[in-house]
Structure 1
Amino acid sequence: MANSDSHSAPNPAPAEDLPQARTILIIGPDAERDNVYRHLLRAAAGDRILTERCDGPVVDLCHGQGVDGVILETHAPDRCGLELLERLRAQVDRPLPIIVIGDNDANLAKRALRAGATDYLVREQVTADTLAIALQTAMPLNQDCVGLRQQLQATEAALDDSRDELDRRSHIFDAVLSTITDFVYLFNREGRFVFVNQPLLDLWGLTLAEAVGKNFFDLNYPKALAAKHQREIEHVFVTGKTVKDESVYVSPKGVSGIYEYIFTPLLGADGAVTSVAGSTRDITHRKIAEAALRESEEKYRTLFASIDQGYFLVDVIFDENDQAVDIICLETNAAAIEIVGEDFTGRQLSQVSLTQGPRWYNIFGQVVRTGKGERLEEYVELNQKWYDFYLSKVGDADSRRVAVIFQNVTRRKRREANAAFLSDIAADFARLSAADEIMQTVGAKIGAYLNLSVCAFADIDAAGQTAVIDYAWHRPEAHNVVGVYPLSEFVTNEFLRAARSQETIVVGNTQTDPRTVAEQYAALNIHAFVSVPFYKDGEWKFLLNIYDSYPRHWHSDEIRLVQELSNQIFPRLERVRVEAALQESEERFRLSTYAVDGMVYDWNLQTGEVYRSEGLYRLINLHPEDVPSNSDWWATRIHPDDLTDVDAKIASILDGSGDRYEFEYRLRHANGQWLNVWDRGYLIHNQQGKVVRVVGSTTDITSRKQAEQEREQLLARERTAREQAEAANRIKDEFLAVVSHELRSPLNPILGWSKLLRSRQLDEQKQAYALEVIERNAQIQAQLINDLLDVSRILRGKLSLNKTVVDLGLTIQAALETVQLAVEAKSIQICTEIDPAFRLVSGDADRLQQVVWNLLSNAVKFTPEGGRIEVQLAYLDPYAQITVTDTGRGIDPGFLPHVFDRFRQEDATTTRQFGGLGLGLALVRYLVELHGGQVQAASLGEGQGATFTVKLPLLPVQQATQQSPQPAKPPTDLNGTRILVVDDDSTTREFIAFFLELQGAEVVTAASAGEAIAVLTRFRPDVMLSDIGMPERDGYMLMRQVRSLSLEQGGQVPAIALTAYAGEIDYQQALAAGFQKHITKPVEPDQLTEAIATLIKTNS
C-alpha cells in the first residue's frame, strides 16, 4: 500500500499566489531511501508525497491518485526499474514526468532515457537543489504538453460533429495558446507547421499564414539544426515516442537564446500518430544562473580541495521528536576521501567506516540546535586510527547543515602511547635484577602492547652466524621458538649484510620477502617480523625479534619503539648477567672441577703455574700429577695447524679489555688421536686492571663437531637433491612446452589444407598434394602420441614384447621404405651393407622396426640436403650389429652422455631448428635393452656427423633358419556383415559408417548409449563398435548394460572398443567391461576391417 504525506508552509499566502500542489510518487528500494528523498523535497511547500516499491501497484496508483511526477531509484543490473518505466509509458494514459536516479553509469542512463525517463540523475550527486531543478524543468513543460495534447485531441474529435463547432473551438484554442509565453506548435505528417502560437510568430517576425505549411528549412533555420529537428519529428511519427532536447537558436531579429523543446505524438482513434505537438521554452536565464552557481561552487570546492585536512558537509535529519536520526554527506574534498579511504558523497554517514554510531547523531544534532562548534578526538576500531574532528554549523538558524574539518592524528597518539610505554618499561628495569625476570616481564608487555605472536631475545655468536634464543614470550597458540638457529637457514645474505651494518630489518611477509627462507618461517607460523641488532664495541651481540603469525604492515612508530627498547633492554640484560656471573664465579669454580665434563684449569700469570683438575684424565687419559704444571707443556699437545691461531687468540685475550673468552682447537689424546676441544673461561684482573689469572675449562666436543659435519654433509646432500629436482622440473617444463609445440604444429597444415580442399579451388595435382600433407602431418601427430604412450608404459614397466624370429634385414628394409619420401625430398644418398649370413634374432618385429625407424628418422632430420647416410648390418660375435652413420650436424660432446635421456634435447629453445619431443632415442635405448642388446652414440662434434650402433643377441645356430616369406593376407571381406557403430562425435561416426559400407557391410549408427540400446531392440548386429568417452553414459557403462541382456536381446554381441583412451589401464578396463578388442584412435581402416573380420571369425 502506498504511503503519503505532505509539507505545508507555516504562513500560507493567499490562495491566488500559491503554486498548484503537486503529487509526487517516490519509488525507492526501502523506507530509508524514501526518507532521504522526503528530506531533499522538504523545500517544496504543499507537495503531496506518495511512496511505493518497484513491484507494487504503481500504475493503479498513478491513475487513482493523480500523480504529477515520479522519482524512481534503480540499480544495475536489476531490470525492475527499467521494466516499470516501459510499463508506465504503455499503461498510463498521459505523459508522466519520471526522474530516474541511479548509478554513475552512462549505459544505464541511456537505457533509462530510451525506456521513457524524462531525466536521469546520478545518485551520489543528488542534492535538494538539483532535484528541485529537475522537477521544475520536467513538470511544467510536461503539463503544458499534456494540456496541449488533450486540447488537440478534443479538437480533432470535434471534427466529426460540425465545422462550426470546430471553428469555435479553434478560436478558443488559439486564444488560449496565445496567452502562453512558451512556444506551442503542431506538425503534420510531412513535418510542416499546421499551427504556431503567437509568441513563436513574434520571435520569427511572421504571421500565422506565413508560417503554416513550412518546415524548419523553409524558415531559414541553420541547416544542421533544421535537419536535426526534421529527423526528430519523423522519429516521433515512426516510434510514437516523445523527443526532448535543448538547442541554441538566433532569431531573424538577432535575438539569441537557449531553448528547451519537446515533441509529443498525438494519436488518432486507431492508435496511430496523426500529428506531432511541440512546445519550446526559453531557458537562457536558468542556464546562466546554473553556470553562475557552478562557478561559485567551483571556487568553494577549490578552497577546500587545497587544504590538507579532510572536509565534508552534511545534512542532519531529525525525526518528529526533533532527534537527529541520520546524517547525509553532501560534499567531500579529496583529502577526506584519502584519509578515510572511500568516497562517501551522497551516502548516509552510518555507512562510512569512521562513523561512531548513534552517539555521533546526538553530537551533530546538538551542533545544529545550539549553533556552537564542537571539537573531539575519536578512535575508530574498524581501521584502528585516531581522528581529530571540528564540527561547525553552516547557514542560518533554520539550516541543518554542519561542516566538518578533520585529520588523522594516529601518529601523535601513538607517539604519546609509546612514550608512556617506555616509561613503564624503565620502571620495570629499576625493580628487576635477574635477566630471566627482565625478559619475562618486558617480553610479555611488548607482546601485549604491539599485539604480537612472539617476542624473542637472541644472543649472537662471535662469528655472527648463529642466533641462540634462551627466552621468548609467546601467545598460547604460537610456537615456542627457544633454541639455536643457524642464521643462514632462515635468512639470506642480504639480511645478514643489513644486520652487520646495524640496520633494523623489517619484513611484512616472510613468504614473499626475498631476504627470508619462506618454508622455515612457515614451519614456525611466522609471517612477519622486525629484527633489531644490538652492537657493543663494534661486535654484534644480541638480536631483538618481534613476530606476527600473519602478514603485517609495521608502522614507523612501532619500528622506532622496538629500536629504543633494544637500546634499553640489552645493556641492562648484559649488566645483570655480568653481576650474576661475578657473584657465582667462585661457587662455579668450586663446583666446576666436579661438574664439568672435561678439565678445569687455573693459570697464574705471575708465577706461570697452571693448576689442572682430575678432568685431565677424562679428557686425554693423563693424570695432572704426571705432567708439568706449566703452559708450555700444553702447547706441545695442540695440533700444529691450530697452534698459531691459539697463540694469537690468547695474546688477544690477555691484551684486550674483555673478561670472558671462548674458542676451539684440536688436542692430542694419549692414544695419539686428535680431539676437538672447546676452551672457555674468565680473566681475573688486579686493582690496576692487569690480568693476573685465567680460570677456565677445556671440554671434549668431538662428538658435537662430528654431528655438525654430518649435518653439513646432510645439508649438502639436500642441496644437491634439490638442485637435481629443480633441474628435473626444468626439463619437464621444457618438455611440456615442446609437447605443446609439436602437437600443435601438425594441426596448422592439416587445418589449412582442409579449408582449401573445402573451397574446391584446387586442381587435381594440388588436391593430391594437400591430401598427402594432411595424411603426413596426421601420422606425425599420431607418432608423437604413440611415443608418449610408450614412454608412459616404460615408466610403469608395462611395455611387453611379442617375441618371434625376426630377420633384421627385412626390418631394416621396412624402416628404409618408411623414410623413403623424406630421403628423396632432401636428395640424401643412402648406402646399405647387410650381411646375409647373420640376420636372425629373437624379438618383437614391430618394436625392432621402431628402433631402426627412429635412428633413420633422426639421421634424415639432422642431415642436410645432398648428405649421405650409411646403414650397415654386420656380425660381431655373438651379436648382430646395426650401424647408422650420417653426415649431419653431429652432437656436442657435452650433450653426448645425455643423448638417450628422456625429455632431453640438445636445443630446447624456442629458436631451435629441429622439432621433436626428445623421446625417440630414449625409446630406442629402452627397446634395445629390453631385447637384451646395447646401443651407443658417437660423434666427433658439431658438423662432424653422428654414428649410432645397436647390438642385438643373435639366435643360436640351431635356430638360425631363414624365415620363409609369409603369404600376403587375403583382402578382408565384410559383405553382408551387420555392424552397429556407437560414437557421440558425428564426424567419426559418419566416417566409420561410410568406410564400412564401402567394404560391403550393413551399418547402423547411434550417437549415445541410450540410442544404442534402442537400436538393439530392432537390429541384431554381428559386431558392435563403441566409443568410450561419451556424455551421460560412457562406453564401459554401455557394454556392461549390453552384457546384462539375454542372448536373444543381443547380450553376447562381439564388441570392439574404438577410443582415444590409449593407456594400458584403458585396455584393461575395456576388456573388464566386456569388449573383446581395444583399438586406439586414429584408427587405420585396414586395421579396423581386419579386427572386425578376425573377431567375427573367432566368435563364429
Structure 2
Amino acid sequence: MESDSALRTAPEPDYRALFAAIPAPLMVLAPDFTIAAVNDAFVKASLTERAAIIGRGVFEVFPDNPGDPQPTGSAMLRASLERVLRTRERDTMAVQKYDVRAGASFEERHWSVINIPVLDADGTLTHILHRAEDVTQFRNWLAREESMESRLDRQSREIEQANHRLREANEELDVRVVARTEELRKEREYFQSLLMAVPVPISVMLGPEHRFVLENDAHRAMSQHRDIIGKPYREAFPDAAPTLLPVLDRIYATGEPYVADRQLVRFAMNTGGTAEDGIFSISWYPLFGVNGEVEGIITSTVNLTEQVRAEAEMHDRDARFRSLFASIDEGFGIIEMLYDDAGKPADYRFREANDAFFTHTGMPEEVIGKTALDIYPGLERHWIETYGRVADTGEPVRFENEARAMGRWFDVYAFRIGNPARREVALLFKDIAERKRNEAELRESERRALDSALAAQAERSRIDALLQAAPAGIVVTDASGVIRQSNAAHRRLWGERCDGEQAAMRSGWWADGSARHGLPLAPEDWVTARVLRGEEAPRATIEIETCDTPPVRRIVLITGAPIRDEAGAVSGAVVTQMDITDRVRAEEALRQDDRRKDEFLAMLAHELRNPLSPIGAAADLLAMGRLDAARVKQTSAVISRQVKHMTGLVDDLLDVSRVTRGLITLEREKLDARRIVAEAVEQVRPLIDARRHQLTVHTPPEPAYVLGDQKRLTQVMTNLLNNAAKYTPLDGSIVVAVELDGGVVRMRVTDNGIGMTPDVLARAFELFSQAERTSDRSQGGLGIGLALVKSLVELHGGTVSAHSDAIGEGSTFTLCLPRIAAQAAVKPETSGIAPAAPGKALKVMVVDDNADAAEMLAMYVEALGHEVSVEYSSIRALALAQSVRPDVCLLDIGLPDMDGYELARRLRADPASAGAMLVAVTGYGQEQDRNRTRAAGFDQHFVKPVDTAALAELLRMAAEKSAQ
C-alpha cells in the first residue's frame, strides 16, 4: 500500500519526453500507414530527418532498394501492418532485410520488428506503434559464420528460440502496472501505451532513491517479474546496485544522460537466485520537472549477454577459421561483386584474403579494399563474368583458366557466401602456372612425338604407295636376305602362286636363273647377295622361269641397293626386277625391221638400176643417130617397157603408203568373184605363159557376189598370181579356185613352187618381207606386195592367209570375203581406150620447169599431129597464152616462180585462155592432190610419168569436140 501511495503522489512523467528519449527506434503510423511520429532513435537508425518524413506514407519514405535483385522488405512490412489492422493484435516479424537510403544509394540493414496496435477506450485502432531494432551487425556476423561453418545451424536455432522467448515475454502484460495506471489512462494512454508496447525493457525511477514507478512488459520480463514498483533501485536490484547506483546518482545530480554499452553487471535473474555476471546495454536519461529540476531517470536496458556470448563464440570460430586459412597452402579470399547500371557484373572488390592468397597471385597486401580492375586494368572479362554468375545464381563452380594480365594460371573453386544480397563470393584457389607449363611442355613433346610418328607413318605410307604403284617388281629384305616386303608388280612378275611362299623364302630363290648369254648364275653372283656384301648398285639381266602354270620364261633386269643403319652397316637390301621381255623383243623386232629396211633399200636400188640400165643404153644409142626406123622402134619399145616396170614399182610404193595412212577410198560395188579372177588371170597370163606354167581355174556355176572395189580386188588377185608365177620353177602348176562357203566367198591360189619356211610364213604379210634372196635377184620385187594384199583385203572386211608344208612343197594363199545376196546385176564391163582417130589439130601449151620433161612431152604431142608451144616459167607462160590462145594447157604444179594452182587460176581469168582445157601434169597423185587441182580450175589430173595412151585419147576427144 505504501508503494501505491507513493506512486499516486509521484509527479506525472512527461510522456512526450519519455517517448523521445526511449533508445529503441520507434515510429507511430496512422491506419493508412502515414507516419504520425518518430523518436530520436528512429531518426538516427533510419538516416532520415523528422521534418522530412512526418505526414508521408511509410512506403514512400522507405521504398525497396532498386539494386536488390530480390527485395522483400516492403512486402513483408505491408503484410505485417495489414495483419495488425485486421486482427488488432501485435505482430512480430522475423528478422527482415530492409535497406535504407543513404544519400543517392542504399545501405544494407537488417531489422527485428514488432508492430503493436494502439486502441482507444472504445477499442478502435487509432495508431500502430512500429518498433524496429537494427540487428545488421549481428546479422552480418551470423551470415559470415553461416558461410564459414554450414550457416551456423545451431546458432540459428538458438537465435530463433531466443526470438520466440522474446515474443512470448512481450506478450505478457503486467496486470498490476495496468491497474495502477488505469485512473490516468485517458490522459496518458497515448504515450503510456506506446511505452508499454516497446519491446525494449524500459523503466522509470523517481527521486534521489531512484524508486521504480513504472516499467514496461519487456522490463518486467527481463527482471523475471520481480516486484519492483515503489521500491528503490538498491532494494529492487541489490546485486547490481554496487555497480550502477553511482551512475544513477551522478545522472540525478548532473542532469546529464549516460549510456553504458556492454556494461558488465551482476544480476540474479530469479528472486533469491544466484547472482551472475551479465552484459547489458543501458541508457539513462534524466526526467525534468516543471521547475527544471531532475525528478527521475528513464532507463532503457537491453540484455546482451547471449548476444555477446554468441559473438565471442563467433570470434573464436572466426579466429580458428582464420588460423586455418592462414595455414593452408591454397589461396583464400572473399570478393564483393560490383555491378553496372544495367545490373551486369562490372568488377569485384577484394574484401579479405589469407597469406597464401598473396603468394599465389603475387599481389601486395594493399589490394584489400581495391577492385580487380584497379589493380589489373587488362584483366580478362571471363573472370568477372564467372564470379558474377556464382554471386547471382549461388551455384559454385570449379574451373581452370589463365589470367594473362597476371601472367599466371589458376585452379579456382568459387562459391557464394552470406546473404545473396551481399553478393560476396569466396575463392579457394592455387597457382598452377608451373603445372600448366609442364603440361604444355608435355603436350608439345607429345605433339612432336606424334608429328614424328605421323610423319614416319606418312613417309611409310608414301613409300608403300610408291612401292605398290611402281611398275617394277620390288622386294625389301633383311640383313640375312629374307624378304620382308614386296609389291604387286613383283607378284605379277613371278606369279601369284609364289606369293604365299615369300615370307619363308630367301630372296635368292627368285634370283636364280641364267644370264642373258645362257650361263647359270652362281649364288654369290645373285644381286641380293652382292648388295648384302656392300655393293652399292649391282645389276644383272637374267632369264627366269615364273611360278605360273605352265611356267613362263621372262627376261628380267635386276638392280639392287643396300639399306644401311645409323652406323652405316648394311641392314637389308632393296631389289628391283624390271620385266624387259617385251622391250627386248621390241628391240629385236626393231633390229629385224632395220635389217629388212636395209634389205628393202638395197632391193629398191637394185630394182631401179635394172630398168635404168637399158633406158640409159637406149638413150645413148638414139644419140648416135645411125639407127634405121626398125632399130629406133625397137629401142623405143625397150624404153617403154622399162618405164612401165619402174612405174609399177613406184605405184606399189605409193599404194602401200596410202593404205598404211588410211588414204585409200574404196569405190564399193557388187562384184562377181569369178570375174575378178578372170581379169587377174588375163593380166598375169603373159608371165604365166612365159614361164610355161599350167594354170587351172575352178569357179562355181552360180555368181559369187562380194561388195568391193573392182580395181583393188583385181590388184590383190593379180599380186597373188604374180607371186605364184615368179616363185614356181619353170613348167610348174598353178591352181586358182573360187568357192562358196555359206556367207563367205573363198578365193584360193595354190602353186607347187619353192614353198616357205615357218619363219617366212610368220612374217609373210609384213612390209619388206621376202624369202631368202639369191644374188642374181631373178624374181625381182620389193617385198611389199603381200603387205599391200593384206591391207586391201582387211579394208574389204576380209582375211588372207598363207600355208606351206615345207620348202619345195609349194604354197597356198587363201582370200576370204563376205558374200552378199544376188539382187543387182553385175556392173557392166567398160571398154578399153579407143584408138586414136584423126581430127582437128589442137594448139597445146606445155609448161614445166624441167626442160627435158617438157621437150619429151612436147615431142610426143607433136607426133600426135598437134601444134605445141613450150614454156619453162609461169610468168612467161601467161604472156605466151595471150598470143597463142591455146586449146589445151599441160601444166606442171611445182613451178618455181608461181605454182601451177595459181597459174591455172590466172589462165581461167584471162579471156585468151579462159576456155582452154587445163590438164595438171604432176608427181602428186593422192586424192587430196586431185581435189586441190579441181578446186584451182583444172579439167584433168595426170600423174608423172604420164600415161601416153590416156593422154592421146584425151587429146583425140578434145579435137573431135573442137571440130564440131
Q: Relative contact order (alpha carbons < 8 A, sep ≥ 6): 1 or 2 greater? A: 2
Q: Structures share a fold, TM > 0.5?
A: no
Q: Which has the larger radius of gyration?
A: 2
TM-score class, shorter: 0.3 to 0.5
Question: TM (normalized to structure 2)?
Answer: 0.40
